[in-house]
Structure 1
Amino acid sequence: MDLMCVEAESHRRAYEDPVLLKDNRVLHNILSLEDKYMPNPAYFKCVQTDIKRYMRKMVAQWMYEVCDEQKCEEEVFPLSMNYLDRFLSIIDTPRTRLQLLGAVCMFIASKLKETNPLTAEKLLIYTDNSITLQELMDMELILLNKLKWDLSAITPHDFVEQILCRLSLGKEKAETIKKHAQAFIALCATDCQFMMYPPSMIAAGSVGAAIHGLNRTSPHIDYGLLEKLHQITGIEIECLRSCQEQIEQTLALNLSNMAETESTKIDQHSRHSSSSSHHLKEQPTTPTDVQDVMF
């Protein structure tokens, strides 16, 4: 009888530990630690002399696309953005090194969260080989030194499971809400305005926005849910409401921008098709737009 080993063909996932999820000490510990890993939301004014907010957003969007295309764990992108913002909070960085910094942040975050981490070679390809392997290695050591090797940062993902298990939702519904909340967390990580919110508030706001979006019968925010989120996290109800509204507004704006972009692409494609009988299949975009703002 042939023995078949499938361990190499599929990733092993850790099961949900009820002790870690339902023990209030775990929740209290991460709530007490989250402030330690928050970046300075005013670093564009106080630290950075060359990098602007729109540059950070462009690099963040590129980093998200890389993580998404490589099917990274959901935690990798927010963790890499935490590293980037913490580094920029203390070190004045020229725009020419911002993409290098983003690549290094993904490189390190994937080592902590991925079974098969992103390779240096893949990251160089995603930068259109605008950086070298030696630059990547050197920048990795600089970032580790400046962050004092304190890499197990608290991110909104650490709170999502804690919140959901305390809302007593059905397993299938909780899984759906979790997926939506994870998407909202990634959206928040690309937007500078959410840097001022602690991870627990972003997680609670994302869960609230996910539940509100799935509950199409009511256009208004459920204050009963906000009360439950307040009891779980200790965050004031008005702060939770404000965060949730901001997430929903940001989502609506992004969806509107995506629709306009898609409409423009379709229009351009139609014009191109009328003048040519064939066209090349569009390949995953490389960060040429990121490079444009850096030179």
Structure 2
Amino acid sequence: MVSEYVNEIFDYMKELEKTTMPNPKYMDHQEKLSWKMRTVLIDWLIDIHNQFRLLPETLYLAVNIVDRFLSSREVDTYKLQLVGVTAMFIAAKYEEIVAPSVQNYLCVQDLYNEDEILRAERYVLKALDFGLHYPNPMSFLRRNSKADNYDPLSRTFAKFLMELSLIDHRFLFFPPSKVAAASMYLSRLILDRGEWDANMRHYSGYTEEELSDCVDLMLLLLLIPRKNFPSIQLLKKYESKKFMKASLHITKWVYEHMSLIEKRLSPKYRK
């Protein structure tokens, strides 16, 4: 981003958050769907995204497209995966230099043919009024990283935590900027990188207190045992050397600090 306009750009992005966030209660009008089905879909999209080696921005935009579309249109169960495939197809065309072709998506699922995906693409875009300009959390994370001296380990841990937020629908109440800041906050806490100082508050736009509800929800998910974890694909992805074995380090830290975590959780998240 152009340095002389960076503050204005991020102010604009925070305003844009208000118009591109989905309805966090959209499942109330989905007669055939459930939040559990959404979780399964997002877990599958994380796997597809990883197989295609796409940019992080593509995954976040794809999930945003899914949630905004489901906020405005009722969908049958058998069409939900089509919405997911189409959202990834659209997001990749928007974010990637070389996007996978529609034929690539035929190789990762066998429910829908090329014509169905292309027709769904037009339908989804019309439903969103062709609005794909979305304040991606990756942009906010990069800004936060500046205050963290661009440390690769804390940024990678934060990326895992941001992707974790895609799995649980309760994060739909939080804007992308807050999810990014909470991810960096928790990453630094795990790595013992010091307090959330004035520099971090300036670049993130959030105080420690303002992040507590989002951080607590992340910790709540991290307390879930592996066998019941909502996204095994996410854990496996971040167990690799490419991602510095972030999920292994984070789950180990959670296990070692379990009692401390349970004490800090807000009452609504306690058992």
Fold match, TM over 0.5? yes
Specify which of 166, 181, 194 is matched with residue 171 of structure 2: 194
Counterpart contact for 2:58–2:95, Cα < 8 Å: yes
**Residue 30 of structure 1: CA displacement?**
0.8
Map of 2:33 onto structure 1: 51
Structure 2 residue 142 is the aligned partner of structure 1 residue 161: yes
Structure 2 residue 218 is the aligned partner of structure 1 residue 247: yes
Map of 1:28 onto structure 2: 11
Change (3 A) 1:39 1:234: same
Map of 2:237 onto structure 1: none
Map of 1:275 onto structure 2: none
Change (3 A) 1:24 1:255: farther
TM-score where L is the length of structure 1: 0.72
Specify which of 60, 67, 70 is matched with residue 49 of structure 2: 67
Residue-by-residue CA offset, 1:11-32 (whole Å, 9 max, x unaligned) = xxxxxx5617x73112211111
**Residue 230 of structure 1: CA displacement?**
4.0
Structure 2 residue 81 is the aligned partner of structure 1 residue 99: yes
Map of 1:136 onto structure 2: 117
Structure 2 residue 213 is the aligned partner of structure 1 residue 213: no
Map of 1:19 onto structure 2: 3
Distance 2:200 2:22 in 1: 24
Change (3 A) 1:59 1:97: same
Counterpart contact for 2:60–2:136, Cα < 8 Å: yes
Counterpart contact for 2:181–2:206, Cα < 8 Å: no
Map of 1:265 onto structure 2: none
Distance 1:147 1:254 in 2: 37
Q: State the aligned residue count.
A: 230
Instruction: Tell me which moved more, 84-93 or 151-160.
Output: 151-160
Residue-by-residue CA offset, 1:168-203 (whole Å, 9 max, x unaligned) = x334x2x22222212211111121111111111100
Counterpart contact for 1:73–1:113, Cα < 8 Å: yes
Opposite residue 217 of structure 2, the aligned amino acid is Q
Opposite residue 13 of structure 2, the aligned amino acid is I
TM-score where L is the length of structure 2: 0.78
Distance 1:162 1:237 in 2: 17
Opposite residue 102 of structure 1, the aligned amino acid is G
Structure 2 residue 68 is the aligned partner of structure 1 residue 86: yes
Q: Percent identity?
A: 24
Distance 1:87 1:110 in 2: 17
**Residue 228 of structure 1: CA displacement?**
4.8
Counterpart contact for 2:57–2:95, Cα < 8 Å: yes
The 3-state SS of whatever aligns with 2:72 is coil
Spell out the pairing of 1:258-277 with structure 2 (5 A cutoff): none
Unpaired segments ≥5 residues, structure 2: 233-271
**Residue 233 of structure 1: CA displacement?**
4.2
Structure 2 residue 157 is the aligned partner of structure 1 residue 180: yes
Q: Which has the larger radius of gyration?
A: 1
Distance 2:10 2:3 in 1: 11
Distance 2:226 2:3 in 1: 39
The 3-state SS of whatever aligns with 2:133 is coil
Distance 1:170 1:230 in 2: 14
**Residue 255 of structure 1: CA displacement?**
4.3
**Residue 164 of structure 1: CA displacement?**
1.8
Residue-by-residue CA offset, 1:242-283 (whole Å, 9 max, x unaligned) = 21122122133264646xx8xxxxxxxxxxxxxxxxxxxxxx
The 3-state SS of whatever aligns with 1:225 is coil
Counterpart contact for 2:196–2:208, Cα < 8 Å: no
Q: Which has the higher helix share?
A: 2
Unpaired segments ≥5 residues, structure 1: 1-16, 217-221, 262-295
The 3-state SS of whatever aligns with 2:56 is coil
Distance 1:66 1:76 in 2: 11
